[in-house]
Chain A
Amino acid sequence: MGAKKVFVTVGTTKFDKLIEEVSKDEVLEVLHSLGYTFVQFQVGTGDSNERKHPKIHIKYDRYFENFAQEIESSDLIISHAGAGTCLEVLKQHKPLIVVINEDLMDNHQIELAQQLAKDGYLQCCTPRTLKDTLLERKFLQFKQYPNPDPRLFSRYLDKCMGFEIK
């Protein structure tokens, strides 16, 4: 099966606290104890003090051209609260931990992450509680996100515009 991979992604801006937190020895140790052997960072515009770990293979990249594929090849995603990322991961039915950036003012994306966590599709935490969230292992038991009915909106719009509905 190869290495079990963790994908840490911060989106198009930066979230250095998340990168720092996952790079800590104690967190990497926890990841290793959970069976993960490869951590892929996507750091955006942030700094990456590239570091090494004896048991875990670590890789850094700024962006990924094919984001969906990167998620597909991962076994756990640790992400910022971006709506696009959340949806992509949920649609692929992968375990997801969303880490909230407390330094952002008026970050309405938190709303979405918390709602999705309440519904049981993912786990939500802050950089400080990430280690405990990993240790709890609750992120492995998540509800599968249902696929939407793609015709829902077009039927609605046809009705609004007065088109005949077949």
Chain B
Amino acid sequence: MEDQLKIELAILIAVLILARILYLVHKITTGFSREASSKRVTPCRTVICIGSGGHTTEMLTLMASLDFAKYSPRYYIMAKTDTTSYAKVRKFEETKNHSNYEIIEIPRSRVVGQSYITSIFTTLYSILYSVPLVCKIRPDLILCNGPGTCIPICLISFLLKAAFISDTRIVFIESFCRTETFSLSGKILMYFADNFLVQWPSLKQKLKRAEYIGQLM
């Protein structure tokens, strides 16, 4: 009988977790989590997902006018071997003259031209690599604008939120390039990002929950 009780308990927990996840997704997709429910005075621990080339430039443009005293410390997460982005972030932080930041490099989930079969394993590896990272940082805010590296990080912190371990706000900004269609990251994060910004009114028309606040670039 003991065993049956254990199974029933496991099922109950699974149902509760699922209900919690569905509740969060519902809250997010109906726009009820767009604004913080309470006033904040302490700085927020911020994770910034850095992609490649154009994505990096866009992200740094968006961040240029942020008050870094409020968004601190900042953790820039990027793929290993992306030396250009690394240099860009370094230079950006130098101009802001705040030192409370860290650049964290994670293994790439897929290299351009890599086969799909092997990329399953490398993706799994990069996901596993991200788990302790996100658990350790427990960010208050994740900023991301497209690159694939942001997906595992966002999903892990979403699960932590579902488990009441951390309270992370995910802000996704669809790339300036996207005027008519969503990126793959956008299609996934539609369901998980608390704030979903688009840069063109034409894209806002395609997704009711998206927000267009004006010209950002």
Interface residues in chain A, defined as those with a beta carbon under 8 Å from any beta carbon in chain B: 12, 82-84, 87, 108-109, 111-112, 114-115, 146, 148-154, 156-164
Contact = CB atoms under 8 A, between A and B. Distances in A.
B40 A153 contact: no
Contacts of B41: 164
A83 B216 CA distance: 14
A150 B171 contact: no
B54 A164 contact: no
Nearest to A88: B57
27 contacts: A87-B217, A108-B177, A108-B178, A112-B176, A112-B177, A112-B178, A112-B179, A115-B202, A148-B216, A148-B217, A150-B64, A151-B65, A152-B215, A153-B65, A154-B65, A157-B71, A158-B70, A160-B34, A160-B36, A160-B171, A161-B36, A161-B40, A161-B140, A161-B169, A162-B35, A162-B39, A164-B41
A13 B141 CA distance: 35
Chain B interface extent, by class? 35 or more
Interface of B: 34-41, 44, 53-54, 57, 62-67, 70-71, 140-141, 169, 171, 175-181, 183, 194-195, 197, 200, 202, 213-217
Given A160-B36, A162-B40, A111 B66 contact: no
Contact of B39 (A12, A150, A164): A164
